[in-house]
Structure formats: structure tokens, C-alpha cells
Chain A
Amino acid sequence: MAASSTAAGLETEAAGRAPVAATVWHFLALAAIFVFSVFPFYWMVTTSLKSQADALANPPVWLFTPTLEHYAAALFTKEVGATLVNSLIVGTATTVLAVGLGTPAAYALARFEFRGKRDLWFWFISNRMVSPIVLAVPFFLVARSLSLIDTHLVLILLYLTFTLPIVVWICTDQFRGIPPELEEAALLDGASRFTVFRRISLPLAMPGIAVSAIFAFIFSWNELLFALVLTRSQARTAPVAATSFMSGYELPWGEIMATGTLIVLPMIVFALIVSGRLVQGLTMGAVK
């Protein structure tokens, strides 16, 4: 008690002595970080709201009359809407599949001891490191021989290479945090392992499962390389559509940036929801 009040006293004293200049510098540093982080995004959004003349003005204009015409054009004449739906279908399906396959595996890694567990664990994590081009080259031939090019299914399956590991990782962590006593009581009552998993552990692990599902969805929504190589028109995803505008002389910058904004905005919302565990998701949990 006494120690803490002394420390608090010293702290206020120190704060009182802290020169105003230091606080001003601190404020400026934080403001600079804020501008650094937000500016490119801000520039994309404002460009999407500029008329074509404003967007192509030299030097660039900072004040302008906003218009939503590019959003209408992108969604309805460039058919970006359909590609957003494709992204939604692929992202949702691969996420559901990854959660369905990944949660039992995560449960086993959290609850059972068995030979080779360590290697299995590392194999799941190693997928974080594999360059997508390494898989895209052979997978293209496999998909072609199975007539799966330009289908949702091929992307849904291939995206498991990164959605499954993230689900397994985050959910293993989550299952470990559930006290085993709860399950042991049910096992003694004669419930099977699977019943225990489904009725007791799975509901308790919901927060972690939700976080892992959001990560899986963000990763698949943001993916470009596989979609670029494996889709043509029917299953084309939104990032591929956004990049396809990049040809010809007169680029429709307003529509490109409107498409970019439509793609990124939902991801920022999702990332903010899981922002407390962003580091864990992006490092595969190495750093918490």
C-alpha cells in the first residue's frame, strides 16, 4: 500500500516535472504515425469520390466536390459486384470448411499426447511460410486435369492451405485454456470423446473459433495470386477484378479506387474486431 502510494506520488511528481516540450514532441510523433498509417488509405477513398477531372488534376487537388458515380459505375457496368459475391462465396466456404476440419484437429493437439505430435504441429505452422507461387505452379496443372479451372471449388480447396493452419493454431490455444476437469466429469459419466468435444469444448471455445474464422476470411478475401492463376471469368474474385482495370491508356482511376475501397473497407472492420489478436494471427501465435 505504502509503496504504491509513494510510487504514484513520485509518478505525479515526475509528470509534473516532465517538460511541456517532451509532451509536445510525443504528440507530434503520435500524429505523424497516425498520418503515416492513414494517408494512403485516405488518398484511395478520396480519389474514389473525385470526378475523373479532379482525380487526374495536376497537381493533385485536396479539396473537391465528392461524387458516388464511380461506385455506381464499378458495381453495375464493370460488374465488380459479381466478383465481390465470388469473393464472399469463396471466403465463406473456405472458412466454414477450415473451421469444420480444423477445430477437431486443434482439440486433439490440445488434449492428446501422441507420437509425432510435435512434427504434426510444426507442419501446420510451416504452411505460414510457404510461398503461394510454389503451390500455384503445380496446382494449376492439377486443377486443369480435373477441369476445375475457373470454379469456386478450386479456390475454396486451395485456400485451405492457409485458412486451416490459422484455425488450428488459434483454436489449439483456445482449447488449452479450457479446464480439462469439465470434460473429465462428462467422460466419467460415460460420454464419448466426440460428444464431449461437441457438447462441452466446442461451445466454450467459441470466442477463439470466431477469431480464427475472421482471420481465415480476411486471408482468403485478400488473396490474389491463386485467384489470378486459377480463375478466368466465372469465379473471378474482387482483387483480380480490381487489378484487371490496369490496362489501356486512359485508366478509370475513380472506378479503380472505388473498387479498392469496396474490397478493403470490410476487411478493416473485421481487422478492428480482432485487433487485440492481430499479432497472434499474423505471427501464427509466436508473439502474443
Chain B
Amino acid sequence: MATTVDPLPAEGPTEDPMGAAGPRPGRMRLSPAVWFLAPAVLALAAVGIYPLGVAVVNSLHRYNLARPNAPTPFVGLDNYVAVLSDPSFWGAVGRTFAFLALVLPAELALGVLFALALHRPGLGLMRALTRVALVIPIATTYAVVGLIGRLIFNRQFGVANQALSWVGLPPVDWLGDPTLAFVAIAIMDVWQWTPFCALILLAGLTMVPRETEEAARLETTSAWSIFRHLQLPYLLPGITAILILRTADVLKLFDAVFVMTRGGPGTATELISIYVQRVAFRVFDQGLASAQAVILLVITIVLSRLYIKFVYREV
């Protein structure tokens, strides 16, 4: 309950004038607000905050599920030290950001091209049809994306190898080779998320005033110049949102990659969420996994602060 009432010292002063300016005193309004908010706040605290508290506590103890009767002594920050000095943890972090560096530029660039093609006047029916098709990758269950990936990149009967044969290349073992497996999961990610980027950017393009755009098209025939000087400024808020959301989503990424490769071959596609999952539920080291989860949570909080700062102008 306290969370709904206690202001952060830094935020307090900015809220006060708004409250005072209202037609009724703040005290009168607080009471119904509490009753309306309490159920949701309590429920979300119970499922969203309480487990995080448990994770913090566990991260400070030695706790292995494989030895249920062993004592779970308090070990201070030992688990954190172990995580931060563990090359396999940094390996997973490195792969996660390498993955991000691979998919994000592709999704942004393709997203811009998709959005421009969908925004360009003419071919109304075809544009409407394509706009509808974009919904399919977005709606596809992430785990099923992984299943489709295993089918398409299958070594023997996969359609990816058939496509290679059309251009005269020999078949490859997509999911058996560390580099190719990484590329394959990236391709599936690009398939699923490019339409999402395209729709955000398309929304940005429709914000460009019609008259201005028409006038610009009469001024110049250079599509690049129109893009650079007229459309790009309207795309920037969407691009910022994409950068932050996709970063958070890659840190969350589990389903599709787990189904497609289980993090393998070896650890080639073991991104951070899959790594933490393995430590928690295959190695059964809850202390260590909790410390990793808390570190991941801290990164997430920083990201969502950035998102709120840059993307939400008014609240």
C-alpha cells in the first residue's frame, strides 16, 4: 500500500502543483484511488515483487536443489563474485549482445524499407494485403517460431538447403555448426520482429503532414532526400523505442531459441536467458541462478528507465 502513497523525494515537488491546482483537495481524492488501485497493486506485488525478494535472498545463500538436505548457509556476495568472475556467464552476455548487434541493424533497415514500401502511394489493395501479412510473424507463438526454424533449417530436408542448391551451393548443417546455428536463430528473429519494427516506423511515416510531403515530392524527385530531410525526423521516436524494446526483448529471448537449438551446439546459441535457465533447472544451483537473475533484473531496470525517459514524453 505504501508504494501508492509515498512519493519519491525527487518526484514530489513536480507532482504538488498539479495536485494543488485540482478543484478538490488531494486528501479527498486519495481515498477512492486507493480502493481502486489496491487489488491490482497487491496482486502484482505478490507475483511480480515478492519473487524478486526471494531471488535476492536466495542469491545471498548457498542453495542447490540437487542436494535438498544440505544446509543453505548465508554466503554474502559470494554468488555475485562467482557469477561476475565466471567466463561462461560473460560468454552468454557476449553472445546476447553479439546477437543484438546482428539482428537489430537488420530489423531496423528492413523495417524502414518495409515501412517506406507500405507508405508509398499507389497499389492500394496490394499494400493492404501486405499490411495484413505482417501480422502473421508478430502473432506466431515464439515456441512455434523455434519449431518452424528447426523445420526450415533441417540438414536433410530443410527448405533453406534447397534454396542454397538453387544458387549452386552445397547443403550445410545449419543447426550443427556453431556459426550457422547462430545465423539461423538470428534469421528467425529477424523474420518475427521485422514486421513489428515496420509497423512502428509506418506509424511514424503517417505522422508526416500530407501537404508537406506532397510539396516535397514536387520539389525533388530524390527519394533519399525526402527520406533524410522530411521523413527521418518523424521516425526517430519510433527508432528510439525499437532500440530499447528490442534490447529488452533479446535479454528476454528464450522460447524460440530454446526450441530451435537448446542453446547448442555446445554453447554457441546459449543466450543469457537460456544460460540462467540451465544453471537454475539443469545444474540446480538456485543461489547462483538467483544472483544471475538479479543482475539481469538490474540491467532491465536501467533499460526501462531509459525507455520511460526517452519514449514517454507526457504522463
Interaction A to B: yes
Binary interface encoding of chain A residues 270-281 relative to chain B, with 1 for a CB under 8 A from any of its CBs, else 0: 111001001100
B18: A residues at CB distance < 8 A: 113
Are A34 and B44 in contact, with the CB atoms below 8 A? no
Pick from B30, B50, B55: contact of A114, CB below 8 A. Answer: B30
30 contacts between A and B (CB under 8 A): A26-B120, A30-B130, A34-B129, A34-B130, A40-B140, A41-B140, A43-B148, A43-B152, A44-B144, A56-B157, A59-B157, A97-B43, A113-B26, A114-B26, A115-B19, A123-B3, A125-B308, A133-B296, A134-B293, A134-B297, A141-B54, A157-B47, A193-B36, A225-B258, A239-B255, A267-B139, A268-B135, A271-B138, A271-B139, A287-B238
CB interface residues, A 194-231, toward B, < 8 Å: 194, 197, 218, 221-222, 224-225, 229
Binary interface encoding of chain B residues 291-310 relative to chain A, with 1 for a CB under 8 A from any of its CBs, else 0: 00110110011011001100
Is residue B15 contacting chain A, with contact meaning CB distance below 8 A?
yes
Q: Which residue of A lies closest to B294 (CB)?
A: A134
Known: A114-B4, A121-B315, A267-B139. 16 other contacts (CB 8 A): A7-B214, A33-B133, A34-B130, A37-B134, A44-B151, A47-B151, A115-B12, A115-B26, A123-B3, A138-B52, A157-B46, A164-B40, A242-B144, A263-B143, A278-B138, A287-B237
Pick from A122, A138, A287: contact of B51, CB below 8 A. Answer: A138
B126: A residues at CB distance < 8 A: 27, 30-31
Are B300 and A225 in contact, with the CB atoms below 8 A? no
Given contacts A104-B39, A129-B304, A129-B307, A116 and B147 within 8 Å (CB-CB): no
B123: A residues at CB distance < 8 A: 23, 26-27, 30
Are B157 and A57 in contact, with the CB atoms below 8 A? yes
Are B152 and A119 in contact, with the CB atoms below 8 A? no
CB interface residues, A 71-109, toward B, < 8 Å: 97, 100-102, 104-105, 107-109
Are B158 and A283 in contact, with the CB atoms below 8 A? no
Is residue B162 contacting chain A, with contact meaning CB distance below 8 A?
yes
10 smallest beta-carbon distances between A and B, as pairs? A271-B139, A105-B40, A108-B36, A138-B54, A112-B33, A138-B55, A138-B51, A129-B304, A239-B143, A37-B133
Are B290 and A257 in contact, with the CB atoms below 8 A? no
Closest chain-B Cβ to A12's Cβ sits at a distance in Å of 11
Residue positions of B touching A, CB distance < 8 A: 3-8, 11-12, 15, 18-19, 22, 26, 29-30, 32-33, 35-37, 39-41, 43-44, 46-48, 50-52, 54-55, 58, 113-114, 117-118, 120-123, 126-127, 129-130, 132-148, 150-152, 156-159, 161-162, 165, 188, 191, 194-196, 199-200, 203-204, 211, 214, 217-218, 237-238, 241, 245, 248, 251-252, 254-255, 258-259, 272-273, 276-277, 280-281, 286, 289-290, 293-294, 296-297, 300-301, 303-304, 307-308, 311-312, 315
Residue positions of A touching B, CB distance < 8 A: 7, 10-11, 14-15, 18, 23, 26-27, 29-31, 33-34, 36-38, 40-41, 43-44, 47, 55-60, 97, 100-102, 104-105, 107-109, 112-142, 157-158, 160-161, 164-165, 168, 193-194, 197, 218, 221-222, 224-225, 229, 239-240, 242-243, 246, 253, 256-257, 260, 263-264, 267-268, 270-272, 275, 278-279, 282-283, 286-288
Given contacts A113-B19, A129-B303, A243 and B143 within 8 Å (CB-CB): yes
Are B254 and A105 in contact, with the CB atoms below 8 A? no
Pick from A130, A140, A282: contact of B196, CB below 8 A. Answer: A282
Given contacts A14-B217, A271-B135, A26 and B300 within 8 Å (CB-CB): no
In Å, the complex CA distance between A278 and B132 comes to: 11
Closest chain-B Cβ to A187's Cβ sits at a distance in Å of 11
Given contacts A43-B159, A60-B157, A141-B54, A131 and B300 within 8 Å (CB-CB): yes
Choose among B29, B143, B150, B252 the residue with the greatest number of A CB atoms under 10 Å from its CB: B143
A44: B residues at CB distance < 8 A: 144, 147-148, 151
Are A260 and B148 in contact, with the CB atoms below 8 A? yes
In Å, the complex CA distance between A104 and B304 comes to: 24
In Å, the complex CA distance between A40 and B138 comes to: 12
B252: A residues at CB distance < 8 A: 129-133
Pick from A115, A158, A283: contact of B7, CB below 8 A. Answer: A115
In Å, the complex CA distance between A242 and B143 comes to: 8
Pick from A121, A123, A270, A275: contact of B132, CB below 8 A. Answer: A275
